[in-house]
Every structure is written in structure tokens, then in C-alpha cells.
Structure 1
């Protein structure tokens, strides 16, 4: 469901009704006359819909985490806030960038339109920037030939699977975050799709090496062995970016998570 398109259609309909009443029908209506239903339930909602549309399109948009690919950073059921303006001002619905404000940095958690099916929104962490050479061999991440700093930070208990997974602290640029790596999971990437710029990636039994093309980003989930990401379906084009995730504003199952994440 394209909620942005639905909201835009409601905005146009309510705006037309509001303008018709404001500049034509209100002048012809007696001062003590009751407003017709189309004004009460149509035009009167225009200011509210306009405020929601502008807020959601240009400032902050809420998202719900549907899967465990970003555990332990984000859990299933987390409601997060996303800065829509972090990587530029884009026209609603068509997602066309009109003002360039900034670019994703390594370590950013971004929401984007899933390249194989842009009607879906995905969330992952940016690992590779345009021009980077990203390698993930034997579960060790290197960028442009430099190993990414990681250290063991104990174990993570998955309450749903009743399973312990090795927990690591990883540093990308100036950002530190936690990741999960399962010792017994295979290093190679299964079921790789045929995606644009597939020729810039080399896969083998140890993992992969990819060179990120201009205008694209390489993203991975923090739950490294349980994430369908750029390793499988390819690079994220700049035009698919939605915004930068930065805040957990609700979780029905765990209120302590409110206010977390950065």
C-alpha cells in the first residue's frame, strides 16, 4: 500500500472541498445556517491532512520494524522515527530530490525503498559508500582493504528462539554499534539475485567482494547471518533513500525501549 499516494489524494480532495467552501459556498450560506456534511466531514479535515502530509513528507516519518534483521539494534515491534530531510528534500510520492542536504555516512541506519520491489520499505545499516570496495570474507568485514574494528562483547539471548548468539561491537567510521554473528552459519552467501551492477561483485565459498558503483550504497543488517541485504539483492540507489532512522518512540511489548537508539 502506497500510503504517501493515498495521503496525497486525500489532501487534494479535502483541499478542493475546503477551497470551494472558503471562496464560494460560504459566502452564499446564511450566517446561522448549519454547515453541510461535505464541509463538516470533508473540507474541515483539510488543515489536519495538510499538516500530517507536510510533516510526514519533509520532516519525520514513523516506521515499524517488521523483522529481526537489525537485532540487537532494533527489535521486532519497535516503532522508529526517520528523518526525511537527512539526505535531501524530496518531492512526495515521486521521491524526486530537489535540494541536496547531505549523504549517508558509514554506520547510518537508513530506510529505503527495496530495490527489487520499490513499494516495500526496508531498513539496514550503511556499510559501503560509492566507490568503496567492501569485502566480507569468513565473516570479517573490510572496507577498502582496511579491516573494520570489532571486539567480542559477550552473548545475546534471543528470547523467542531460546538461543544465544555471539555479540560483537563493531565500529564503522566514528560510530559504534552491536552486531550478531553466528559461529555455525555458513560464510558464503546463498541465493544471490541477478541485480543491477552484479558484475561488480565476486562471490566464493568465503563470502564476497563488491565495489560500490557511483550513486549507490551497500547495506547490511546488524543480525549478520539472518538478514537479506545488499549481499543478496544488490546495491541501494540514492533515489531509493527515504531517510535516516534515529529514535525509538514506542514498543508495545517493552516500554523501556522508548527513547532508545541513536
Structure 2
């Protein structure tokens, strides 16, 4: 609701951090807002909000996750292909994830780009690479 995460009808605590430098759709660097969210169980993680609280994914309906499924929510809240986007109607979304589809835990970021390079244009990969993220462990 209005760009904030709610879990079981309670707003998740969020604290603003230093801006995060990232590229926009034109390839220019911008200072995206960065926050740390803390879940009711005390688990914290960082998120990025490129367009503030007015993006198309900032006001979604309430999600009721079916039993035997998981809901995945990306950290780049304005530009994550996650469970908020259903996999139907010709849209290659994620939707709810059946528990049997989870086969392991992500442990490391192997390769990361800022999204400005095409997979079909490897000569642009170097400029788009986010080297500081290569081989980083996932918390």
C-alpha cells in the first residue's frame, strides 16, 4: 500500500539509508532511495526504491499465498520480476512458487549487471558489470 510492505495487515518497519547509485532506463546514473526493512521476527534486509512510492508495483492488491506455496519479493521494489507479477495471460511473471519447485538456497551472487547491456551484445557487458557484487555471499 502506497509503496510500503504490509505483512498480515501490519506495516513492516522501514528506515531510510544512504542513496544507492544505479542506472536508469537511459543508462544515466541516479541516486535511488535505499531502505532497510525489518520483519516482525527481527530479520532485516535492504531494498531499493527507484521511483519512490509511485511505481506501478507500489499499490498492488493484497496477496493470500496458497498453502504449499511461497511468495518471492525482490529487493529492487520498482523493477523486480517477482511473485507480484503472475505467470499468466502471456506475461512471463513468477506468481506464487510451489514448495516442490524450491530445490536449494542461493548462496552467492556469481554475476551482476546494471541492466543496461543486452545478453546478445557481450561487448556491452563490461560497462554494465557491477564488479563489486561478483562472488558476494548472500545473507
TM-score by length of 2: 0.66
| Contact 1:212 1:218 (8 Å CA) reproduced | yes
Judge conservation of contact 1:247–1:261 (CA < 8 Å) in 2. yes
* CA-to-aligned-CA distance 1:148-190 (integer Å, 9 cap, x gap): 111000210015531111000112333221101134563544x
Give 1 or 2 for the bigger CA radius of gyration. Answer: 1
Post-superposition shift, 1:207?
2.3
- Say which structure, 1 or 2, has more relative contact order (CA 8 Å, 6+ apart): 1
Answer yes or no: is 1:170 the counterpart of 2:34: no
The aligned counterpart of 2:48 is 180
Number of corresponding residues: 111
Give the structure with the larger helix fraction.
Answer: 1
Structure 2, unaligned runs of 5 or more = 87-94, 113-125
Which residue is equivalent to 1:64?
Answer: none
Q: Is residue 261 from structure 1 mapped to residue 125 from structure 2 by the alignment?
A: no
| Structure 1: 4+ residue segments shifted above 6 A | none
85, 104, 110: which is aligned to 1:232? 85
Unaligned runs of 5+ in 1: 1-136, 190-204
CA distance in 1, matches of 2:64, 2:99: 16
Higher strand residue share:
1
Residues 187, 207 of structure 1: 8 Å contact kept: no
**What value does the CA root-mean-square deviation take over the aligned residues?**
2.7
